[in-house]
Amino acid sequence: MKVTLRIQRYNPERDSEPYYQEFIVEAGDEKERILDLLLQVKWKYDGTLTFRRSCAHGVCGSDGMRINGKNRLACSTLLRDVNYKKPIVIEPLPSIPIVKDLIVDMSDFYKKYEAVKPYLINNSPPPEHERYQSNEDAEKLFESAKCILCGCCTTSCPSSWSDENYIGPAALLKAYRFVFDTRDEAADERLDVVDTPDGAWRCHTIFNCVEACPKEINITWHISKLKKRLAEREM
Amino acid sequence: MAYQAKPPEGWLRTNLKYTKDRGSVAWVLHRITGLGLTAYIYVHIYALTSLTQGPQAFDNEMKLFQTPVFHVLEWLLFSLVVYHSLNGVRIVIVDWANGAAYHKKLLAVVYGLGVVLFIGMGILMFREPIANMFASLR
Amino acid sequence: MYKHTGSRGSGAPGWVLQRITGILLFVVVLTHFFVMHANPASGHTYAAVLARMHDPFWKMFDLTFITVGLWHGLNGTWGVFRDYKMKPAVSLTIYGVIILSGIAFWVLGVNTILSF
Amino acid sequence: MIKHQYDVVIVGAGGAGLRAALEIPEGFSCAVLSKVFPTRSHTGAAQGGIGASLGNEEEDSWEWHMFDTVKGSDYLGDQDAIEIMAKDAPRAIIELEHMGMPFSRTPEGKIAQRRFGGHTRPEDPSDPDSKRVAVKRSCYSADRTGHVMLHTLYENCLKQKVHFFSEFFVTDMIMSGKSCAGVVAMDLATSEVHVFHAKAVMLATGGYGRVFRITSNAHVGTGDGYSFIYNNGLPLQDMEFVQFHPTGLWKLGILISEAARGEGGILLNNKGERFMERYAPTVKDLAPRDMVSRAIITEIREGRGFKGSDGTSYVHLDVSHLPKEVLNDKLPEITGFARTYLGVEPTKEPIPVQPTAHYAMGGIPTTIDAEVTRDKKRTTVTGLYAAGEAACVSVHGSNRLGTNSLLDLIVFGRRGGKAIAKFIKDAEFAPLPEDAADRTIARIDAIMNSKGKEKVGALRTELQEKMMDKVGVFRNEKDLTEMTTEIMSLRERYKGVSIDDKGKIFNTDLMEAIELGNLIDTAEPIIHGALVRQESRGAHSREDFPNRDDKKWLKHTLIYKTDGKPKIDLKPVSITRFQPKERKY
Ligand SMILES: Cc1cc2nc3c(=O)[nH]c(=O)nc-3n(C[C@H](O)[C@H](O)[C@H](O)COP(=O)(O)OP(=O)(O)OC[C@H]3O[C@@H](n4cnc5c(N)ncnc54)[C@H](O)[C@@H]3O)c2cc1C
Ligand code: HEM
Ligand code: SF4
Ligand code: F3S
Ligand code: FES
C-alpha cells in the first residue's frame, strides 16, 4: 500500500522559509505507525529529514508533531487514525520556534513547567515509613502524573498561540499534580504562580489541549479544579 | 543559542490552520457573540436615550425598528443571546462544577436547546405573519 | 521567550464575578427578550414604555440589566484583549477606553431610566 | 571545540544517572549529560514495579528477596551485591516516596505491592525450606512505575538545581593514564564538540536493546556506554546474557509487563492450553523470564504457536477473564498498547505476544560502590563509575528478575553518587590530554566526508536481523561462529557508511551513524561471550550445551577488545549465603 507524506521542511542553514515536500512510502497495513513511515523516509530516501523520537510507543513524549492539522505523537498515531488516501500532512508543533524540520525549540515549554515548582515540597521531617496517603488521594494524582511533557497540549491552545506568556495547560496540569498532593506543603507558592492573568485565568476551556493530549488526560478538568481552588482561596 | 530558530507564524494563521474541534468552535462563537452583544448594548443604550427627548422622537425611531427587516434582525440578535447565554452556562458548569468530565454532552445540550429556543422565539415573534400566511393558504 | 508576569491575585475576583454576572444575565436577558421582543406588535410605543418605566420593578430590572450587562460585557471584552500580546501602552489605552466608555454609557443609560 | 570543567560528569539521565546526581553535595559542580531530554530516558518505559520486601501486603523479608534474586540469576549474581540491594530496597523505596513519587496504595494508605515473576516466599514462613509461592513484593504506580519514578527523580534534580546538558551526545570517554578525566560530547543542536574535564565520570547510559530487531527498548538504546569502555581497552562483563522478555507485542516488541501475569493473566498456545503448567508447575506463568521465553519459543517450534499474516509466530496472553477494574486501574497503559497498536481489545480477546529483547544483564563491571573495574581482580579505574543497566555489579547474574532493575538503579545509583561525593572531596583533576577530542573529531569528519555506498539504516537492519536470528533466545556454536565473521564484515562495511545530511544543526543522521558504530561495538562482545560460554545458564541457552556447568562456568566472563579476536578472561563469582542448587520453579 502506497501512502504519501507531505512533510514541512525547514533547514535553517539553507532555507529562509519552511516549505513542503512529498514522499511516497510503502506501508504494510493500516496499523502502521506514522513514526515508522517517517523513519522509512529518513532511512531510505532522505537522511536529512530530522525529528525527535525514542520509545516508539507513546511513553517518552519525544515526537509530538502536527499530523493532518492536529497535534499528536507520531508513534501513537496509526495510519487508520488519519485519512491516508490523501497525502498526510506532517508539520512541527505550532506556535513554537522551529529548529529544523519537525524539531521545535521546547525551552520555553520547559521554563513554564519549571515555573510551577514541579517537585514535592515538604519541610517537616519525614517519618521512618512512607507518608501515608489513601488510595483515593493517590488516585487523584494519577491522571495528572501521566503527563509525558510532549508539548502537544500547550502548543494546541489558542490562548498560548496569541501570547506565548500564557503558562499553558501542561504547566497547569503539573501545578495540579502537586497542589492536590496531600503530602505537599507548598500549595500556596504554586497557586501564587498560576493566580495571574498569564496563569490559570487565561484558560477559556477551549479543550484543544484535551483533544491533543496523547495520554488522554482531561487537562481542562484538572485546570478547573485549580481555578476553583484559587477562587476559594480568594474568598 | 548558537542557531537561529524560525519564529512561529502569527496567531491568526495558526488559528485558521489548526484542526477545529467542538471546543474551539464553541469558544470562537462565544467570543464573537460576546463582543457582538457588548457592542449591541452600547447601541441599545444610545437608542433608548431618545426616550428622554419626548414621545415624538421615540416613536419616530420605533417606526424604523418596527419594520419586518428589523424584526428579522432582532430574531438573529436573539440567536446570539441564546448561544452566548447557554454556552456561558456551560462554561460555568465546566470550570466551576464537574462539567469538564462530560463536556461533549454538555455542548450537545447547548446546541440542541439553543436551536429549540431560537425556533420557538421565531414562532412567537412571527406568529401573526405566520397565521396570516396559513390563512391565505386556506 | 517565556517570562512570568503578573502578580498574585490578579484574576480570581474578576473570574468569579464574570461567572456570577453571567448567571444573572442568563435570567435577566432571557426575561427581557421574552417580555420585550417576543411580541413585536406590542409594548414599543412611547406610552407603553413609559408605563413600564414607572413601575419600580421594571426600573430595578433595567438598572440591574444595564449595570450587570455592561460590567460583564466589558470585563469580557477586556479579557479578550488581554489574551493578545500587546505593548503596555496599547493595552493601557484599550483598558482606558473600555473603562471610560463603560462609565459614560452607564451614566447615559441610568439617566434614561431615571428620567421618569 | 568548547571546554568545560566540572567536578562530576554524569552521562545519562535515566533513573541511575539522576539518582547519582542527587548525591553530589552542594559546593561541587555536577553536569548531567543526556542525548535526550532527561524525562525522555528509557526508565520512563518501565511499567511493572520496583521490588522491595516492605511486607505491606504479605509477610516478606529481605532474605527471601535475596534468595529469589540469587536463584533467578541462576547463581551467577554476586551475592555480596545482591545482599546489599535486597537489604537496602525498603529504605530506597521509602526514600522515593518521600521524594514525592505517587505510588498506588493499600487500603491503609501504605505503598501497594503486587506479585511478579520469580518473587516468592516460603509457603510456611516459619519453615524456610517449605514450598515457595508467589509473593507481593513489587511496589507500583498502576503500570507507569518507571515513568513516575523518572519524573520524581528529575523533579528532585530540578529542586536541587542540578546542571543538565540535554541533547548532548557523548561520543567518547577521556582516559588520562590509568584514570578517567572526562568525556567528549557533541551538542546535537549545533554539532559542536565539547570536552568535559572532570574529576569523576559516571556512565549511566542504559541498555543496548536496539542491537536486536524485536526489542522493547527505545531507539536511543544503542549501547553507547559499552562502546566507550570497550574502545578504551577496558573489559565488559557477562555480555552474553541478554534478557528476552516473554511478552512483547507481536511484531512490534512493545512490552506487555509481567504485571499482566502478576495480576492473573495467563499464556495460551494454539490449543488453548495453559502451557506454562508444564514448564514451571509451581509458579506457572510467573516463572522467571528466561524460562517463559524459552517455553514460548519451544511451543512455537513444536507447532503450537499461532502463525501471523507475515509468517512470524506468536502465542496468546489472555487477560480477558480479569475484572474490568483490574484492567482499568492497574493495567491501563498496557491494555491501551494492545488496543492502539494491534487493534486487540484485551477485555475480550487474547493479546498476541512474542519474546522481545529487553534487558542487558551484562555490562560495565563495577564494585558494589559503582566503581568501574578493569580486571578479574576487581582493580578499580580511578575516577570512573557506572550504574544502572549499563553497569554489571552483578546483581542480576544470568537472568534479571522483574522489578530488580529499577531497584538496581536507585540502590547502586545512590551508592555510586555517594562514592563520587567522597572521591571528589580530595581528588585532583587528572591532566586533560591534548588530544582528548581528536578521536571524536576524526570520527565525525570521516562520516561527514565519506563517499561510501553503505547506508546506516540498511546496515543496522541487517545487524539487528542477524542478531535476532542467531544470537536470540536459543543459541548454538554454528550460528555463533557464523556471527563472529558476520560482525567483522559488518564492521568493515561500516567504514563505508555515508550520510545525506552534511549540515551542522541537529544532524540526527550523523548521530545515527555514530550510534550504529556503537551497536556494532556492543554486538561483538555479546557474540563472543555467547560463543565461549559452553553451557546453558539463565538467559543464555545453548542448544549444544543444554545443561548448566558450575564446575567450568560458575564464572563471569570479561571481554576486552583487541585488534583481532576479543580477549576473554574469567572472574570468580561472589558466593556468600546460598550455594548453587538446581533451579526449578
Ligand atoms: C519496556 C520496559 C519495561 C521495563 N519495566 C521494568 C520494571 O517494571 N521494573 C524494573 O525494575 N525494570 C524494568 N525495566 C528495566 C529498566 O527500566 C531499565 O533497565 C532501566 O530503566 C535502565 O535505566 P538506566 O538509568 O540505566 O538507563 P536509561 O533510563 O535507559 O537512561 C539512559 C540515559 O543515558 C543517556 N545516554 C545514553 N547514551 C548516551 C550518550 N551517548 N550520550 C549522552 N547520553 C546518553 C540517555 O539519554 C538516557 O538519559 C523495563 C525496561 C523496559 C525497556
Ligand atoms: C445571558 C447570559 C450570559 C452568560 C451566562 C454569560 C456567560 C459568560 C461567561 C461565563 C463568560 C466567560 C468566558 C471565559 O472566560 O472564557 C462570558 C464572556 C463574555 N460575555 Fe457573557 N454571558 C452572558 C451574557 C452576556 C451578554 C448579554 C453580553 C453582552 C453584553 C456578554 C458579553 C460577554 C463578553 C464580551 C465575553 C468575553 C468573551 C471571551 O472571553 O471570549 N455576555 N460570558
Ligand atoms: S498533558 Fe498531555 S499533551 Fe500535555 S504535555 Fe502532558 S502528555 Fe503531552
Ligand atoms: S486548550 Fe487552552 S484554553 Fe484551556 S482548556 Fe485547554 S488550556
Ligand atoms: S517516540 Fe516516545 S512518545 Fe513517541
Instruction: State whether residue A76 sits within 8 Å of chain D by CB.
Output: yes
Residue whose C-alpha cell is 454538555:
B106
pTM across the whole model:
0.95
Q: Are D359 and D146 in contact (CB under 8 A)?
A: no
The domain tally of chain B equals 1
**The three grid cell numbers given for residue D278, joined into one nine-digit string:** 508444564
Q: Which atom of ligand 2 is nearest to the CA of A205?
A: 16
Residue B69 CA to ligand 3 center (angstroms) comes to 50
- Inspect the interface and report whether the beta carbons of A120 and D99 lie closer than 8 Å: yes
Question: Which among A225, A235, A227, A231 has a CA at the least distance from the CA of A181?
Answer: A225
- Here the CATH number for the domain that contains residue A17 is 3.10.20.30
What average pLDDT does the segment A97-106 reach?
Answer: 96
- This model of the complex carries an ipTM of 0.93
Q: Are residues A128 and A230 in the same domain?
A: yes
Read off the pLDDT band of C40 (50, 70, 90). Answer: low
* Annotation says D40 is catalytic: no
Interface test with A, best of C2, C7, C78, C90 (most A CBs within 10 A): C2
Q: Using CB atoms and an 8 Å cut-off, which of residues 23-62 of chain D contact chain A?
A: 36-37, 39-42, 44-45
pLDDT one-digit tens code per residue, C57-77: 888 999 999 999 999 999 999
CB of A170 within 6 A of ligand 3: the answer is yes
Specify if B76 maps to a domain. yes
pLDDT at D128: 77
* pLDDT given for residue C43 in this prediction: 60
Chain centroid to Cα D512, Å, comes to: 20
Task: Report the b/e string of D368-392 with b at 16+ CB within 10 A.
Answer: bbbbbbbebeeebbbbbbbbbbbbb
Per-residue pLDDT of chain D (585 residues; tens, 9 = 90+): 899 999 999 999 999 999 999 999 999 999 999 999 999 999 999 988 999 999 999 999 999 999 999 999 999 999 999 999 999 999 999 999 999 999 999 999 999 999 988 899 998 888 878 888 899 999 999 889 999 999 999 999 999 999 999 999 999 999 999 999 999 999 999 999 999 999 999 999 999 999 999 999 999 999 999 999 999 999 999 999 999 999 999 999 999 988 899 889 999 999 999 999 999 998 889 888 999 999 999 999 999 999 988 888 999 999 999 999 989 888 888 888 999 999 899 999 999 999 999 999 999 999 999 999 999 999 999 999 999 999 999 999 999 999 999 999 999 999 999 999 999 999 999 999 999 999 999 999 999 999 999 999 999 999 999 999 999 999 999 999 999 999 999 999 999 999 999 999 999 999 999 999 999 999 999 999 999 999 999 999 999 999 999 999 999 999 999 988 999 999 999 999 999 998 887
Q: How many domains does chain A have?
A: 2
Q: Same domain, yes or no, for A121 and A227?
A: yes
Instruction: Using the structure block, give the residue that is written with the C-alpha cell 534487558.
Output: D359
Q: Whose CA is nearest to atom 5 of ligand 1?
A: D46
Q: What is the arithmetic mean of pLDDT over A189-200?
A: 91
Query: Taking 80 as the threshold, does the pLDDT of residue C45 lie above it?
Result: no
**Separation between Cα atoms, residue D210 and residue D359, nearest integer Å:** 10
Name the strand (E) or helix (H) holding B101.
none
Sign of CA dihedral D42, D44, D49, D51: positive
DSSP D25-76: PTTS-EEEEESS-GGGSGGGG--S-EE----SSS---HHHHHHHHHHHTTT-
Give me the helix-helix angle, B22-48 and B103-125, nearest 10°: 40
Q: Could you count the other beta carbons within 10 Å of the beta carbon of residue D116?
A: 29
CA dihedral of A161, A165, A166, A168, whole degrees rounded to 10? 80
d(CA D395, CA B34): 66
Cα D128 to its chain centre, rounded Å, is: 31
DSSP-derived secondary structure for D169-235? EEEEEEEETTEEEEEEEEETTTTEEEEEEEEEEEE-----GGGSSSBSS-TT-S-HHHHHHHHTT--
Residue C7: what pLDDT?
A: 57
Give residue A144's pLDDT band: very low, low, confident or very high (50, 70, 90). Answer: very high
Residues A114 and A10 in one domain: no
Which atom from ligand 3 is nearest to the alpha carbon of A64? 8
pLDDT at C10 (0 to 100):
60
In contact, D190 and D504? CB cutoff 8 Å: yes
**Any ligand 3 atom below 6 A from CB of A152:** yes
- Calculate mean pLDDT across residues A119-126: 94
Q: Report the CATH number at residue B67.
A: 1.20.1300.10
Residue B104: which domain range? 21-135
Q: Which residue of A has its CA nearest to B21?
A: A208
Nearest Cα neighbor of D145 from D382, D410, D451 is D410
Closest alpha carbon within chain C to A111 = C2
Domain for residue B14, yes or no? no
φ/ψ of C51, rounded to 5, equals -60, -45
Residue B49's pLDDT band, with cuts at 50, 70 and 90, is confident
Report CB contact under 8 Å: B89, C22. yes
Q: How far is A165 from chain C (nearest CA, A)?
A: 5
Phi-psi region of A40 (alpha: psi -120 to 50; beta: other; left: phi over 0): alpha
Dihedral sign for Cα atoms in the order C51, C54, C57, C63:
positive
Q: Is C57 on the interface with B (CB under 8 A)?
A: no
* Domain of A206, in residue numbers: 107-234
Domain end: A76, A104, A132, which one? A104
Maximum Cα–Cα distance for chain C, whole Å? 61
Tens of pLDDT along B35-47?
999 999 999 999 8
Residue B7 lies in a domain: no
Model pLDDT, residue B1? 47
- What's the rounded Cα separation, in Å, for the pair A174 and A157? 16
In C5-30, which positions are buried (b, 16+ CB within 10 angstroms) versus exposed (e)?
A: ebeeeebbebbbebbebbeebbebbb
* Sequential DSSP letters for D239-258: TT-EEEEEEEETTT--B--T
Distance, CA of D389 to chain centre: 4
Do A119 and A62 fall within a single domain?
A: no
- Tell whether A84 and A115 lie within a shared domain: no
Decide if B9 is inside a domain.
no
Contact between chain B and chain A (3 or more Cβ pairs less than 8 Å apart): yes
**Does residue B11 fall inside a structural domain?**
no
Asked whether residue B62 is assigned to any structural domain, the reply reads yes
- Last residue in a domain, options A47, A80, A104: A104
Strand partners, D136: D115
* Single residue among A58, A75, A104 that ends a domain in this structure: A104
Q: Which amino acid is at D148?
A: V
- Please choose from A42, A72, A73 the residue to mutate so as to test ligand 5's pocket, defined by most ligand atoms within 8 A of CB: A73
Q: What confidence score (pLDDT) does residue C46 get?
A: 80
Please give the Cα distance from D203 to D222 (Å, whole number): 14
The answer to whether the CB atoms of C10 and A193 lie below 8 A apart is no
Map D532-559 to HEC letters.
HCCCCECCEEECCECCCCHHHHCEEEEE
Range of the structural domain that residue C39 is part of: 2-114
Burial class, A122, CB count within 10 angstroms (exposed 0-12 / middle 13-18 / buried 19+): middle
Q: Does residue A157 contact residue A206 with C-beta atoms inside 8 Å?
A: yes
In a shared domain, residues A90 and A189:
no
SS3 helix, strand, coil % of chain B, rounded to 5?
85, 0, 15
Same domain, A71 and A160: no
Number of structural domains chain C divides into: 1
* Three-class DSSP labels, chain A: CEEEEEEEECCCCCCCCCEEEEEEEECCCCCCEHHHHHHHHHHHHCCCCCCCCCCCCCCCCCCEEEECCEEEECCCCEHHHCCCCCCEEEECCCCCCEEECCEECCHHHHHHHHHCCCCCCCCCCCCCCCCCCCHHHHHHHHHHHCCCCCCCCHHHCHHHHHCCCCCHHHHHHHHHHHHCCCCCCCHHHHHHHHCCCCCHHHCCCCCHHHHHCCCCCCHHHHHHHHHHHHHHHHC
Beta carbon of A173 within 6 Å of any ligand 3 atom: yes
Q: Do the strands D371-373 and D364-365 form a parallel or antiparallel pair, or are they unpaired?
A: unpaired
Nearest-ligand number for the alpha carbon of A67? 5
| Residue A97 sits in the same domain as residue A114 | no
- Domain match, A78 and A183 both: no
Q: Which ligand is nearest to the CA of A39?
A: 5
CATH of the domain at A213: 1.10.1060.10
Closest by Cβ to B100, choosing from A12, A66, A224 = A224
